[in-house]
Structure 1
């Protein structure tokens, strides 16, 4: 099972914006004027667009330098996450409930770079049931659908089991998450806790739509109804 992170499990937008501003200043020597909205995109994509809208011509070394600076800036601010951010309703109980389902591996499918995803979840005690060595992350320069396939490949290498839409479930809050699941080959549980409405998530093709994660039994029930194998891969960020 692959969990999305932002607006599915946590909301730390204020700290993220500050970290982006610091990383931009470090890399370009200029103040950040405009940060593009995430919209379910990976950090690698957001970085290029942020450079463009602020009048910076991207060069070959900009992305690795920016992601490195972003990791440092975010780590420096990790003490603010629990104070200025929030855990989404039901997130901890949902992760715990899914962990009790036999054969389920929980990881993340997120646009956030791996180090920052770990900080976000640890700040709220949500990392206990997550295997961060699997999953897909924002420093990998792929669209989210490809990140999903990368995560499935990692799980196959670990467990020797092919992962398909029959035994892979993504849970996220945006229509981009739904599209990634459909293209990448996974079943989709959508939660209307982000910027996409329940109707938009259904129209995008989500197999199950929940208002949020506040009913762990509904999360588990949706998971079981969508899988036909005893082994499941979990979560998008």
Structure 2
């Protein structure tokens, strides 16, 4: 099951939104844009039990930048259970249903991280930018989380890349690039593509795909850890970050 899952959620993207975009920004979701404050862990446990018929008694594998299929597979292994694609599909469906039933709880307990709403709004208004997500979440889970906090209005989720597109995070970069190029009828070179996340895994995925990484120390990774991983830009948080300054910095000639 941890082999390619590219057959899932790959419906054709409509063309026609031609624009003079110059940068493709690929945002991580959890601990970069939002926090679920424990609701995500509850949902995972509920979905695990519904999919497997067994409670998650041995706990959950550490997330820390894993895609959902990898996290689920590692959690299955902790419980001595076999792994297969059909089981993950059942888990993903149960997870989406559980998030849907807990939207009020998610909104009340979770939060948008500081500076995110303003920055995404500013970037959405910049014609040089196309922004979407590159996340280990499934497409359904990401849409529910971002929609709950109203961030989906700033992100083109149709062209995003998700854990149920491929279990291997670096391969998600080209999935998003191809979708963006098809929809917007413009080429996004690797140097024009930027992964923005909060873990060294996000940075490593960007490098493996040959694109740039901006890292935000809003998760468990410190600014030092993210710099050591090789991020082009490291930010302590997104609070106070001006969209125009971020874009100008990314568009400036590289030394």
What are the within-5 Å matches in structure 2 for residues 139-178 of structure 1? 139-178=164-203
What are the within-5 Å matches in structure 2 for residues 117-128 of structure 1? 117-128=142-153
- 1:152-189 Cα deviation digits (max 9, x unpaired): 01111112323223211221111011111111132211
1:5: how far off?
Answer: 0.5
Task: Tell me, in whole angstroms, the C-alpha distance in 1 between the residues paired with 2:224 and 2:63.
Answer: 21
Question: How many residue pairs align between the two structures?
Answer: 228
Task: Tell me, in whole angstroms, the C-alpha distance in 1 between the residues paired with 2:28 and 2:244.
Answer: 16
Task: Tell me, in whole angstroms, the C-alpha distance in 1 between the residues paired with 2:100 and 2:149.
Answer: 15
**What is the DSSP-based 3-state SS (H/G/I as helix, E as strand, rest coil) of the residue aligned with 1:213?**
coil
Q: Note if contact 1:42-1:111 (Cα within 8 Å) is conserved in structure 2.
A: yes
**What is the DSSP-based 3-state SS (H/G/I as helix, E as strand, rest coil) of the residue aligned with 1:128?**
helix
1:93: how far off?
Answer: 0.8
Q: 1:182 aligns with which of 207, 211, 218?
A: 207
1:214: how far off?
Answer: 0.3
Task: Tell me, in whole angstroms, the C-alpha distance in 1 between the residues paired with 2:78 and 2:37.
Answer: 20
Q: Note if contact 1:149-1:185 (Cα within 8 Å) is conserved in structure 2.
A: no
Partner of 1:10: 34
Partner of 2:216: 191
Partner of 2:10: none
2:47 pairs with 1:23: yes
**What is the DSSP-based 3-state SS (H/G/I as helix, E as strand, rest coil) of the residue aligned with 1:188?**
strand
Q: Note if contact 1:171-1:188 (Cα within 8 Å) is conserved in structure 2.
A: yes
Q: 2:156 aligns with which of 124, 131, 150?
A: 131
Q: RMSD of the TM alignment (CA)?
A: 1.6
2:114 pairs with 1:93: no
Partner of 1:232: none
Q: Note if contact 1:187-1:226 (Cα within 8 Å) is conserved in structure 2.
A: no
Q: Note if contact 2:137-2:163 (Cα within 8 Å) is conserved in structure 1.
A: yes
1:13: how far off?
Answer: 4.3
Task: Tell me, in whole angstroms, the C-alpha distance in 1 between the residues paired with 2:52 and 2:167.
Answer: 24
- 1:101-146 Cα deviation digits (max 9, x unpaired): 2221111011111111111112222111111100111112331110
TM (norm. structure 1) is 0.91
TM (norm. structure 2) is 0.85
2:224 pairs with 1:224: no
Partner of 2:60: 35
Q: Note if contact 2:68-2:167 (Cα within 8 Å) is conserved in structure 1.
A: no
